[in-house]
Amino acid sequence: MEDSILANWPYPIRAVAFDMDGLMVNTEELYFEVGQTILQRRGRDFTDRLRRGMMGLPGPQAFALMIEYEGLEDTPDTLARESDEVFAAMLPDRLRPLTGLLALLDALDARQLPRCVATSSPLSFAKIVLQGVGVLSRVDFVITAEHVARGKPHPDIYLEAAQRLAVQPGEVLVLEDSQHGSRAGVASGACTVAVPGDHSRDHDFAGVHFIADTLADERIYELLSEGQSK
């Protein structure tokens, strides 16, 4: 999209909702290794097709899809527990914030804009991850698929986020890295910007306001500045 489309968003941006995995932190690349470990233990391979299908879904749905694809006898709960164990061993040495995150949070501080994290990950895991990269205290709250009736790609999580942020959905800037998450943001009526990583550059981001290079993309800052001028 042309940069001029930035001026076409009809509402001021009064709050920001971040996805977490693959957007704020590098957990998506770790998820691939976790999925590979889980399936290799069962004599199977974690294919790109399955990985794309699971990305952005709430945990129970994602593991149910894995079970369906691979014909596993496990339950989503047993796979979730196994995943948590594998992740716990990785996080201390491998977790890191992604490009532009800390500077963007600084900019939100300077503009005094409220912000939240809206993730499909469990709340306990999200808090561990955000604390691990030192940003848990820099968001107003964390909302997860556990807090809404329907997870991404349904809009529920971003509608709930807007309500908690005390703004209209159209006044929320949603930042997402996946197809499922972007669809949730678009369906909620929020100004949705896709920020794909290597794991999601082939996703369908139909309906988003624009596709950013990273969280350091100048167009994100233009949106924030525009919002304050309205």
Q: Token pair for residue 197?
A: 């990583």
Q: Token pair for residue 144?
A: 């997860």
**Reported confidence tier of residue 3, pLDDT bands at 50, 70, 90:** very low
Query: For 131-163, what is each residue's pLDDT tens digit?
Result: 999 999 999 999 999 999 999 999 999 999 999
Query: For 103-127, what is each residue's pLDDT tens digit?
Result: 999 999 999 999 999 999 889 889 9
DSSP string, the chain: --GGGGGG--S---EEEE--BTTTBTHHHHHHHHHHHHHHTTT----HHHHHHHTTS-HHHHHHHHHHHHT-S--HHHHHHHHHHHHHHHHHHH--BPTTHHHHHHHHHHHT--EEEEESS-HHHHHHHHHHTT-GGGSSEEEEGGGSSS-TTSSHHHHHHHHHHTS-GGGEEEEESSHHHHHHHHHHT-EEEE---TTTTTS--TT-SEE-SSTT-HHHHHHHHHHHH-
pTM of the full predicted structure?
Answer: 0.84
Q: Give yes or no for residue 6 having a pLDDT over 70.
A: no
Q: Which residues contact 166 (CB under 8 A, 6 or more apart)?
A: 114
Among 25-29, 183-187, 226-230, the range of highest mean pLDDT = 183-187
Query: For 32-83, what is each residue's pLDDT tens digit?
Result: 899 999 999 999 999 988 988 898 788 889 999 999 999 999 999 999 999 9
